[in-house]
Homo-oligomer: A and B are copies of this chain.
Amino acid sequence: MTKELTERQKLLLSLIIHEHTRTAQPVGSKSIVNQFGLNLSSATIRNELATLTELGYLRQPHTSAGRVPTEEGYRYFVSNLVQQTNLPATTRNTISHQFYQAPQGLVQWLRLAASVLANHSQAASLVTAPHTTRATFKHIELLSTRATQVLLVLVLGGGEIRQRILSLDESVSQENLSELSAHINGLCQNYSADDLKSRHEQLSPLGLIVLDTIIEEMRLSSTLVTGEVYLDGLTNVLTEPEFAQSELARSPMRLLEERTLLNDLISRTIMTEEVGGVQVLIGGEGTWDELRDCSVILTRYGIPDQLTGAIGVLGPMRMPYGHTISTVRFMAGLLSDLVSEHLVE
């Protein structure tokens, strides 16, 4: 599959991608020579380009236009040629500072992460809240709001909070509720959803309802993407020239908007990957039609097997991969640190 390229071909592929990323235009043999002052004539370049085109790494929009990288071209580039530039120390510090200055709180951090990432990548960013694959019970609180309504607040292992309103058949006093929650708190400490099922001894009918609700919420929380997905920089996508006609921009935007599509994308892309590895999805890879002209860069953050989330960007396929991958990786590291410092027991 990965045909060996000569060094010169690799160089040319890199140059074309670099140039096309900058200008959004097809790039021709002559302009390569001018731009980069190689010791070669345009004719030689043309020959090389012809073979790269045959190999499927380049493409001509029409017979006599310059070359444009294909999806294959980008893939080869990302797999073999891209060089990860570490972000400059000053940038890294600026970003870190923002986090340690900001008010402490998971939601604020995630929102900030999305915003920073969107700015630095000039693309749309997405961040999911971290969650435990194996949720453990930590604490509940039952609060009566009005006669037959009860607000159930459930705290899970990593500090994840879920709430739910219960409608009862008859009214229950706050004292009874407090008693019940104390009872359940004692009974269920640190259990997982599966273990909880066997804990219904000595529980009142109301207690059983509560327990079932708890189990249900814990199950819900165990799907990979749970709760909010924090998005930012959607309009960055609209800025790119390839999405000048709004019709083209609509499909990637729709994907970000539709919860189900987005969840699907995140789970399938990230599923296999360990924390640390960055996934690059170029042009939908045959599965996501909406992403024909887009690339998605995604990675996990958090503590493996304990509390992990996903963070990444969606941008045009014509994207500065080196820089973007570095940025995503750095942000993931930052969030991992925050999570392990503040949220894990």
Give the Cβ gap from A252 to chain B, nearest Cβ, in Å. 10
Q: Are A161 and B153 in contact, CB atoms less than 8 angstroms apart?
A: yes
Q: Are B139 and A155 in contact, CB atoms less than 8 angstroms apart?
A: no
A115-150: CB near B (< 8 Å → 1, else 0) gives: 000000000000000000000001101011110010
Q: Are B234 and A104 in contact, CB atoms less than 8 angstroms apart?
A: no
Name the residue among A165, A249, A253 with the largest chain B CB count within 10 angstroms: A165
13 residue pairs bridging A and B, Cβ less than 8 Å apart: A104-B164, A105-B163, A105-B165, A139-B141, A145-B345, A146-B345, A149-B342, A159-B165, A232-B257, A238-B250, A239-B246, A239-B250, A249-B249
Q: Which A residues are within 8 Å of any B CB, using their own CB? A: 103-107, 138-139, 141, 143-146, 149, 151, 153, 155, 159, 161, 163-167, 228, 232-235, 238-239, 243-247, 249-250, 253-254, 257, 342-345
The CA of A8 and the CA of B167, in the complex, are separated in Å by 55
- Choose among B146, B155, B249 the residue that contacts A238 (Cβ–Cβ < 8 A): B249
Give the Cβ gap from A337 to chain B, nearest Cβ, in Å. 14
Interface SS of A by simple majority = mixed
Give the Cβ gap from A226 to chain B, nearest Cβ, in Å. 12
Q: Are B163 and A344 in contact, CB atoms less than 8 angstroms apart?
A: no
- Choose among B151, B165, B342 the residue that contacts A155 (Cβ–Cβ < 8 A): B151
In the A-B complex, the 7 residue pairs with the smallest Cβ-Cβ separation, listed nearest first, are A238-B246, A104-B165, A246-B246, A238-B250, A235-B254, A146-B345, A151-B159
